[in-house]
Amino acid sequence: MTAADTAGGPTPDPPSVAAELARAARAFPALLRVGVAEVVAYRAEFLVWILTTNMPLVMLALWHAVAADGPVGRFDQARFTAYYLGVLVVRLATSNWMAWQMSMEIRDGTLSAKLLRPIHPLYAYAADHISAVPMRLVVVSPIVAILFATSWGRLVRHDPRLLLILAASIAGAWLLMYFSMVLLGSLAFYVDSAMGVFELWIGLHGLFSGYLIPLEVMPRWFRALADVLPFRFMLAFPVETLVGLLSPGQALRQLAAQWIYIAVLGVLAMRVWRAGVKRFAAFGG
């Protein structure tokens, strides 16, 4: 990607998706290098940010106290341990708070610089996020080690179908988080302050994704609601597959639901983004 690509001014026809993807693929290694350098430069902040994800451990301690005198439903102490460690791993691998960055860049006009670049801003955001993966792995691997050490017998190991579904579900969780962040972030094109909506989203996500409490121990009406909302497919589904709470049939059905949600949210997010960019009027630049 060179300066010559941009020098010709705005092109009259938007490039096809395939051409755009091919371009992005060429730029990806460079974007990743920049991203990794950034994460390394701000490593202290990165670690502090990781430490912020301590809620599952607090909830684990709480449920341990609760389950001390007998299991809650299918959950005994050991299963709670496996579940919450799984939550930590999946959450650290897939969590994504891009909406905050997007809304800030839309408001203060930094986005216009990104729009000028010959690569779609949404790919740039995605690259930003993916480039943190090596650092994330560094943080996640000790947790995985603890998970294996404490709960090896509880994890899904023997069924290759479930292992495949697990891999697909984690990738799907990442995509769902990504698209919902694009959708939320694009709100900043339309309203001045979307912080209230973000807060609401975090609250709903915390409950309906099984982040705070395994959905299984929730009341029946709550579970019915969680089954139709997209949140469970961002976290609870991969974790439940991991700790062996789902049969292959159930897991497969959920996987289908997850990818339907990905398609719907993906299309919706792109639409909203595109319409938003059209009304975007940057300050100064």
Residues that bind another protein (CB under 8 A): 42, 44-45, 48-49, 51-55, 58-59, 61-66, 68, 72, 193, 196, 199-200, 203-204, 206-207, 212-213, 217-219, 222
- Shortest Å distance, C-beta 192 to another protein: 9
- Shortest Å distance, C-beta 133 to another protein: 19
- Shortest Å distance, C-beta 263 to another protein: 29
- Shortest Å distance, C-beta 102 to another protein: 16
**28/49 with CB nearer another protein:** 49
**18/44 with CB nearer another protein:** 44
**101/250 with CB nearer another protein:** 101
- Shortest Å distance, C-beta 203 to another protein: 5
**213/282 with CB nearer another protein:** 213
Spatial separation of the C-alpha atoms in residues 120 and 10, rounded to whole Å = 14
**42/152 with CB nearer another protein:** 42
Tokens of 18: 């395939």
**213/277 with CB nearer another protein:** 213
> Are residues 178 and 126 in contact, defined by beta-carbon separation less than 8 angstroms?
yes
How crowded is residue 4: how many other Cβ atoms within 10 Å of its Cβ? 8
- Shortest Å distance, C-beta 200 to another protein: 6
For 25-61, give one letter per residue: b (16+ CB within 10 A) or e.
Answer: eebbeebbeebbeebeeeeeebeeebeeeeebeebbe
**24/194 with CB nearer another protein:** 194
Spatial separation of the C-alpha atoms in residues 161 and 39, rounded to whole Å = 35
- Shortest Å distance, C-beta 204 to another protein: 8
